[in-house]
């Protein structure tokens, strides 16, 4: 809708005290107003303020670093920050406070960058603290950090374009010819108009190797050399391959970072020394205090910030008997001790904002760097050509120095010296000017010979530079060598540790549940029922699906832990309390759905325990048997799924839960049976152990079944007791008849 503005009435004469045109109502189109007034602002914020360019810097950062470079601060001496800020205002007229804030965030003392650009002295605050403010610029000093040599090394060799500053009194670079992918080396965050960027940092050594790998093979696997981001503050990154692939491919996505901590047993306290980059010490401490006051965190006796000159430290005092592992798992869930980092790789490329993945960003940087090296080579080539041209003119007078002196002496007017030399020796004006400027003391054969000896070397250098200009492969080789040198000079070990997502134990707040006796039933088709003794006494036969039958039945408690082993070598942990009390007239809960098993996965066995004592016995079709301690399936937090629950080297014939060692009877497809004591098999803490050979089998045979031996099951049990491994014995008499009846 059109907007109306009030203006003063038009006046044909001079009206004292009124603005001409004030009060007049003029209709304006809102779209036109936005385009004229808002769009220039939006474009300025996007292109000249908030988003980094391919050299990894925003305009304000580039202006600051370039000014410090021109001030000679790439050497040993520092200068007062106030002096630096004043000089930067010649390029960046946004006020001293904004410039100093930029310097602080680039400094080593602030600890926000993996590779700081400013070597600071004094209090520059801390990125991980909201309340630790930096000192005023008159109290601090700074210079450029050593890594800036790689940013300014070629800047005087026409590698990048220069433009006028805001008042056209100075020149400043459009980009810096940085010799490593700084865009991904340090984190960068910015909010523009309608768009934003949030770039995480990567380890410099890994990044250089990845760039080299991509230059050699554009289809190289990034994860072989660049597994995950690396943050200045360290921490522990929870690595999920699928999430990271999405970030690498699209430039968008998120991952979780958790704090690094240790437990001091003598003081009964937890010391947190590294936190995620997206939070601060004060936020964490305030949240823990708030939870403790509302009785949602009863395990904590006290929490305090003990950050000092040695670095970050949050101390959490525990009450007696508190398990630090369980407490930290809980804190990771309800505080920012674990936090998400959302990636948005929005970068200006050629003046256009683009969201790029890691591979595309490195390809764009490589293209930018190749242009820088090409321009540097062209610059060096021209310089050498100019020098060679001058030396060729100097060589021309070598044959007759006296003639050159005579021409100069006999020339009456100074303006005629150069033309006469050109005529006398057949050289051009530039060469003649150079010869004419030679000092009298240098007019000797020794000096001229020394200078002209450079000619052959210059010719070789020029030929080499021309080859480089004509070959992209040679330019790539130069960049590869530079990246290798940067990685060697400035590379550091990873600070952020990787934790794999499928190994993380998630904290689940256990609710106090009533404990009472229950009967548990598990069917061959994977259905489960929990029935109280009273309900069982009053019920009739079990309702089952057609063809299904009860495979296991046991007495337990409502607080029992239940382990459901699947046919995909995985185990799913649930509790009896997770199931409602049922009846025999119901089908029960379908375990693959309840436990959220993978598609096509079946539950084959149920184990019940309260203290994880005893063993699990796995019997495989190849005749091997593995005895695994139940404690191997115990976790400190309530993990729902454990991988590699048993060996996958051979199909599973049977699973048995053993409270203690006993005799087990194996039956093979050949009809042979073997009776052995499980004490003969050593127990293992490794879940997916292949076990030992229990029953020897002939070709084409396999173990069909295994059962705990009950007294009276066999007429002559000694017939089947053998030393392991053994073939077993064929049944006779009663046992043969029973097997015949069973099919």
Q: How far apart are CA 231 and CA 17, in angstroms?
A: 63
HSE-CB for 374 with a 13 A CA cutoff? 12
How many C-beta neighbours within 10 Å does residue 710 have? 10
In angstroms, the Cα distances linking 93 to 57, 64, 165, 580, 603 are 18, 11, 10, 70, 70
Q: Which two tokens stand for residue 490?
A: 């400035």
Dihedral angle sign, alpha carbons of residues 210, 214, 220, 222? positive
Could you confirm whether 139 is annotated as catalytic?
yes
Q: Which residue's entry shows tokens 């607080």?
A: 559
Nearest to 55 by CA among 156, 199, 258, 163: 199
In angstroms, the Cα distances linking 681 to 415, 652, 711 are 109, 18, 21
| Environment class of 206 (CB within 10 Å of its CB; exposed 0-12, middle 13-18, buried 19+) | buried
Q: Do 158 and 121 meet the contact criterion of CB atoms below 8 Å apart?
A: no
How many C-beta neighbours within 10 Å does residue 173 have? 19
DSSP 296-317: S-TTEEEEEE--BTTB--EEEE
Q: Which two tokens stand for residue 242?
A: 């699928």
Catalytic residue of the set 18, 139, 166, 516: 139
Q: Which residue's entry shows tokens 């050594």?
A: 205
Residue 734 Cα to chain centre, angstroms = 67
Q: Which two tokens stand for residue 476?
A: 């790539």
Q: How far apart are CA 200 and CA 191, in angstroms?
A: 15
| Environment class of 271 (CB within 10 Å of its CB; exposed 0-12, middle 13-18, buried 19+) | middle
Q: How far apart are CA 288 and CA 267, in angstroms?
A: 19
Catalytic residues: 139
């Amino acid at each position: 809708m059109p907007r109306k503005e009030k203006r003063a009435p038009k006046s044909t004469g001079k009206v004292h005290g009124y603005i001409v045109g004030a009060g007049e109502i003029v209709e304006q189109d809102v779209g036109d107003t936005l385009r004229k007034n808002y769009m220039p602002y939006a474009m300025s914020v996007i292109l000249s303020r908030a988003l980094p360019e391919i050299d990894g810097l925003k305009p304000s950062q580039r202006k600051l670093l370039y000014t410090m470079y021109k001030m000679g601060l790439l050497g040993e001496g520092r200068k007062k920050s106030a002096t630096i800020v004043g000089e930067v205002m010649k390029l960046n007229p946004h006020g001293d406070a904004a410039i100093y804030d930029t310097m602080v965030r680039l400094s080593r003392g602030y600890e926000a960058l993996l590779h700081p650009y400013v070597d600071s002295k004094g209090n520059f605050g801390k990125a991980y603290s909201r309340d630790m403010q930096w000192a005023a610029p008159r109290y601090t000093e700074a210079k450029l950090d050593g890594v800036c040599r790689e940013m300014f090394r070629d800047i005087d060799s026409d590698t990048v374009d220069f433009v006028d500053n805001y008042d056209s009194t100075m020149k400043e670079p459009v980009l810096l010819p940085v010799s490593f992918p700084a865009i991904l080396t340090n984190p960068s965050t910015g909010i523009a108009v309608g768009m934003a960027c949030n770039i995480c940092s990567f380890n410099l050594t890994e990044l250089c190797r990845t760039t080299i790998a991509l230059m050699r093979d554009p289809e190289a696997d990034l994860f072989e050399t660049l597994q995950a981001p690396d943050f200045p503050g360290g921490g522990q990154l929870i690595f999920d391959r699928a999430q990271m692939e999405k970030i690498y491919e699209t430039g968008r996505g998120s991952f979780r970072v958790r704090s690094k901590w240790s437990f001091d047993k003598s003081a009964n306290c937890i010391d947190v020394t590294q936190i995620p980059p997206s939070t601060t010490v004060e936020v964490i401490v305030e949240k823990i205090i708030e939870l403790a006051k509302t009785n949602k965190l009863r395990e904590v006796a006290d929490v305090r910030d003990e950050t000092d000159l040695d670095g970050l430290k949050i101390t959490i005092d525990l009450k007696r008997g508190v398990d630090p592992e369980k407490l930290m798992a809980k804190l990771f869930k309800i505080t920012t001790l674990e936090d998400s980092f959302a990636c948005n790789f929005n970068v200006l490329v050629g003046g256009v904002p683009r969201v790029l993945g890691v591979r595309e960003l490195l390809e764009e940087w490589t293209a930018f760097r190749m242009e820088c090296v090409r321009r540097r080579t062209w610059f060096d080539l021209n310089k050498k050509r100019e020098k060679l041209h001058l030396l060729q003119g100097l060589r021309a007078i070598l044959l007759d120095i006296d003639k050159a002196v005579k021409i100069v002496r006999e020339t009456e007017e100074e303006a005629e010296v150069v033309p006469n030399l050109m005529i006398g020796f057949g050289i051009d004006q530039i060469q003649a000017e150079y010869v004419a400027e030679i000092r009298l003391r240098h007019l000797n054969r020794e000096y001229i010979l020394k200078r002209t000896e450079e000619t052959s070397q210059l010719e070789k250098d020029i030929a080499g530079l021309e080859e480089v200009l004509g070959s992209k492969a040679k330019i790539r080789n130069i960049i590869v060598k530079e990246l290798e040198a940067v990685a060697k000079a400035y590379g550091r070990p990873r600070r952020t540790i990787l934790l794999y997502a499928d190994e993380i134990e998630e904290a689940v707040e256990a609710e106090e549940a009533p404990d009472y006796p229950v009967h548990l039933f598990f069917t061959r088709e994977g259905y489960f029922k929990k029935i109280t003794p009273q309900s069982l006494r009053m019920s009739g036969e079990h309702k089952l699906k057609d063809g299904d039958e009860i495979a296991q039945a046991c007495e337990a408690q409502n607080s029992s832990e239940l382990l459901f082993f699947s046919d995909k070598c995985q185990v799913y942990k649930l509790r009896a309390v997770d199931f409602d009390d049922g009846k025999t007239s119901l089908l029960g809960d379908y375990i693959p759905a309840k436990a959220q098993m993978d598609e096509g996965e079946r539950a084959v066995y149920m184990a019940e325990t309260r203290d994880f004592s005893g063993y699990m016995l796995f019997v495989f079709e190849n005749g091997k048997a593995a005895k695994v301690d139940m404690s191997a399936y115990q976790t400190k937090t309530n993990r729902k799924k454990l991988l590699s629950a048993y060996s996958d080297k051979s199909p599973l014939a049977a699973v048995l839960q053993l409270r203690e060692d006993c005799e087990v009877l194996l039956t093979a497809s050949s009809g042979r049976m073997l009776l052995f004591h499980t004490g003969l098999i050593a127990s293992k803490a490794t879940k997916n152990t292949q076990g030992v050979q229990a029953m020897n089998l002939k070709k084409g045979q396999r173990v069909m079944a295994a059962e705990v031996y009950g007294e009276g099951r066999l007429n002559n049990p000694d017939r089947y007791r053998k030393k392991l491994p053994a073939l077993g014995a064929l049944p006779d008499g009663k046992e043969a008849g029973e097997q015949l009846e069973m099919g």
